Each structure stands twice: as C-alpha cells, then as structure tokens.
Amino acid sequence: MAVRKIIQPDNPILRKKAHRVTSFDSKFQQLVDDMVETLLDAPGVGLAAPQVAVSQRVIVVRLPDDEESRAEYGDEAGKLYVFVNPEIIKTSKEMVEGVEGCLSIPGYVGRVTRHEQVVVKGFDRRGKPQRIKASGWLARVFQHEIDHLDGRLYIDIASEVWELKPEDEDTGVQD
C-alpha cells in the first residue's frame, strides 16, 4: 500500500467524468488499498479515485471512529465503505444544509444543501453488488464523493465558500 498524492482543481482530471470500472484485477485492488491508506493518512472521511489522479468510478468512505463519533453514528462510525461504479438510486425529499470541505481544496469550506437520505447501489471491491441506505452525515459524504466521479466539486454548488482560519475547529466534511 502507498499514500497517493491528492490533486487540486488545477489538475483537469478532477473536472472530468470518471470511467466505469470494468476490471477488478490486482492493479485495481492496489488502487483501492492505496486510496484507503491515503484517506486514513489525510485524514478525511471520503476519497474518490479522481482525487488521486485516477479517472475511475470508485470511492472510499469512512466516518471517524472516536468515542464521540461512536455515540453519534453508532455502527457507521469507523466502518469502511468501498463503492465501485456507485449510483444514487433514491433520494429523500428532505434537504439539509451543512458545511463541507474537501481534501482537494485544502483550507476552505462551504455551505452546501444535500439530500438528508440517499440509497446508493454499486459494487464492492471484488465486484459483488451492494447497496446502502445512508442518512445524515454519511449521506452527505456519499453525495460529495459521487459528485467527484462526475467532475463536480462542492464549490460548484455551495451557497457560500470561505477560507478557514488557523483557530477554526473541524467544521465539515473533509473528503
């Protein structure tokens, strides 16, 4: 495994629609392992392959696993999700506003409105079909990461974006 470099918006790969994964070979497995290691090293809660300069439709998601997160997110805290060719197949009507950040846009956060709940289908890292019903922060992270696969960044849909000051606490999704 290796920590990969997270690219920033000046790299055109971030703005392109990623290609569907068609092979679950050892090279792909290495990509997934590297993405997980990169996510944990960053640290963040989500990472899409385009963020490590690979135009493939794969995301990794992992909410924090500290005591506070376990109290708030229960079984979702610390659980690693790997979704290949993910699609949002259902969304709630209820929309919620929240603050998001992005590992590809360090030092900034923005206010983004997203669906409170989503159902995502796709494949696991071995090609087995899977689906998840996510709500709250986990739903926000899935929507944020799937946006990356379509070349969209949170700053494209944010109602407001601002620079973090050194004294600011962790205020949002750091994908």
Rounded distance between C-alpha atoms, residue 90 and residue 99, angstroms: 22
Q: Considering only CA atoms, which of 114, 117, 113, 112 is closest in space to residue 90?
A: 117
Q: Taken in order 98, 47, 20, 87, is the CA torsion positive or negative? A: negative
Q: Is there a catalytic annotation at residue 68?
A: no
Catalytic residue among 67, 97, 116, 145: 145
Collapse the DSSP code of 136 into the 3-class scheme (helix H, G, I; strand E, B; otherwise coil) and give the result: helix
Rounded distance between C-alpha atoms, residue 33 and residue 23, angstroms: 15
CB 116 within 8 A of CB 142: no
Cα distance between the two ends of the chain: 20
Rounded distance between C-alpha atoms, residue 62 and residue 46, angstroms: 6
Rounded distance between C-alpha atoms, residue 115 and residue 19, angstroms: 25
Catalytic residues: 145
